[in-house]
Amino acid sequence: MADIDNIIKELKKDNKAHRVIQTEFVKFMENVGDPYLVLICCILSLRTNDKTTYPCSVRMLELGKTPSEISKLDVETLAKAIYPVGFYKNKAEQIIELSKILVEKYNSKVPKSIDELVKFKGVGRKTANLVMTKGFNIPAICVDVHVHRITNRIGYVKTKTPDETEMKLREILPKKYWIDFNTLLVTHGQNVCKPINPKCEICSIKKYCKTYLENF
């Protein structure tokens, strides 16, 4: 199994030394600290790259930053603000409806529970876990395509889907790493361990990577 302690150590060094670049959206999600904003901005990011998502998030938050404010928007106004994120009309409807439910049934408070969060239309485990870590600072494991790809490439897990990866990581990943794990691997995946043509020659963790060691 991959040496996860040293892998995390090296990835943190990369961030600290600015050998990798965090997107504006990743930086925003790291620092926003509001469960509701994390939730609705994460919904925007689904099937959309960070470069597109960030300015759309900024425009959305100029219209409102609370469930009460967003729930009062009409779909056309919000859809215009978040264009061109993928499925922007559907996401506008979803965010407004979700906001209304929060106001009416949850006293405008985002529930502090993954099981409760995934009851909302369009909110999967990835989004729910991100709300827990970035919104509530509660240990959880957010698995997106980068986390799924990299943990399999380095040989830390052997799974077929992101959901399988999350469940396996819950078993084996030390809890002290849970909150930072997604950000570290997303940043590494966006800069180095890309889906196609990964930059293994500059990778700081290649000596711990099963795929690299088996092929070079």
Tens digit of each residue's pLDDT (9 = 90 or more) over 62-82: 999 999 999 999 999 999 999
pLDDT of the residue at 1: 77
Q: What is the mean pLDDT of the chain?
A: 97
- Compute the residue count for the chain: 216
pLDDT of the residue at 18: 87
pLDDT of the residue at 82: 98
What value does the mean pLDDT take over residues 23-51? 96
Tens digit of each residue's pLDDT (9 = 90 or more) over 5-34? 999 999 999 998 889 999 999 999 999 999
pLDDT of the residue at 104: 98
- What's the rounded Cα separation, in Å, for the pair 117 and 125? 8
Residues 6+ apart with CB under 8 A from 153: 193, 198, 209, 210, 211
Residues 6+ apart with CB under 8 A from 122: 43, 46, 91, 94, 98
What value does the mean pLDDT take over residues 168-175? 98
What value does the mean pLDDT take over residues 100-117? 97
Residue 132 pLDDT class (50, 70, 90 cuts): very high
- What's the rounded Cα separation, in Å, for the pair 140 and 132? 6
Residue burial 63-99, b: 16+ Cβ < 10 Å; e: rest: ebeebeebbebebeebbebbeebebbeebbbbbbebb
Residue 200 pLDDT class (50, 70, 90 cuts): very high
Whether residue 216 has pLDDT greater than 90: no
Whether residue 93 has pLDDT greater than 90: yes
Yes or no: say if 171 and 158 are a contact pair by the CB < 8 Å rule. no
What percent of the chain has pLDDT above 70?
100
Yes or no: say if 135 and 38 are a contact pair by the CB < 8 Å rule. yes
Cα first-last separation, the chain: 18
pLDDT of the residue at 141: 97
pLDDT of the residue at 2: 86
pTM comes to: 0.93
What value does the mean pLDDT take over residues 88-95? 98
